[in-house]
């Protein structure tokens, strides 16, 4: 049986830290579905469709990956995709508490679904989508923080808002 994992997130936008987790996950699992969640608690810079497009462009070089999006409960989505693993990246101790709570409730809802934590590469331990947007807003260079398409899209967003 093929191992299928889901890497869920807002990806607003995808960063090189996310890409690192995707590349490494693709070496562990037969198939990795990167799924953009519709998060009602956040006001995103990019639409779900834009985030999906940026992800698709950024992962073209990784053959056993695909991009999708979902609404609702992650566990229901995982079951629908016939996956058995959730991939989550950890940057710092501060991420751990939230991720542990999420993994615990997911385990209660679906005991057969595992959460697979990956420590981020040290060079990306400070990196988040929020930091990237803040830096890009002031027209600073983000080329070493995000894939090329994302850099272009950030420039478009922030040049249109000034």
Please state the residue numbers annotated as binding site for substrate: 10, 42, 74, 88
The yes-or-no answer on residue 38 being catalytic is no
Contact 115, 106 (CB under 8 A): yes
84 is catalytic: no
31 is catalytic: no
**Catalytic-role residue among 25, 84, 129, 133:** 129
Q: Is 51 a catalytic residue?
A: no
Residues contributing to the annotated binding site:
10-11, 18, 42, 74, 88-91, 99, 124-130
- Pick the catalytic residue: 38, 42, 82, 156? 42
Which residue positions form the known binding site for ATP?
A: 10-11, 18, 89-91, 99, 124-130
**Helices and strands in the chain, H and E counts:** 6, 5
**Of 24, 79, 91, 137, which one is the catalytic site residue?**
91
CA-closest candidate to residue 33, choices 51, 6, 14, 62: 6
Sheet containing strand 4-9, edge to edge, reads 65-70, 31-37, 4-9, 85-90, 114-119
Question: Which residues are known to be catalytic?
Answer: 18, 42, 91, 129
């Amino acid at each position: 049986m093929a191992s299928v994992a889901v890497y869920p997130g807002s990806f607003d936008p995808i960063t090189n830290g996310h890409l690192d987790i995707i590349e490494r996950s693709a070496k562990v699992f037969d198939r990795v579905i990167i799924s953009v969640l519709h998060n009602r608690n956040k006001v995103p810079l990019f639409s779900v469709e834009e985030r999906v497009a940026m992800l698709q462009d950024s992962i073209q070089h990784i053959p056993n990956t695909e991009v999708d999006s979902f609404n609702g409960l992650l566990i229901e989505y995982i079951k629908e995709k016939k996956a058995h693993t959730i991939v989550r990246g950890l940057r710092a101790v501060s991420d751990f508490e939230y991720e542990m709570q999420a993994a615990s409730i997911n385990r209660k809802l679906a005991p057969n679904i595992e959460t697979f934590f990956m420590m981020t590469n040290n060079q990306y331990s400070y990196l988040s989508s929020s930091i990237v947007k803040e830096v890009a807003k002031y027209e600073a260079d983000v080329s070493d923080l995000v894939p090329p398409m994302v850099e272009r899209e950030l420039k478009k967003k922030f040049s249109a808002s000034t």
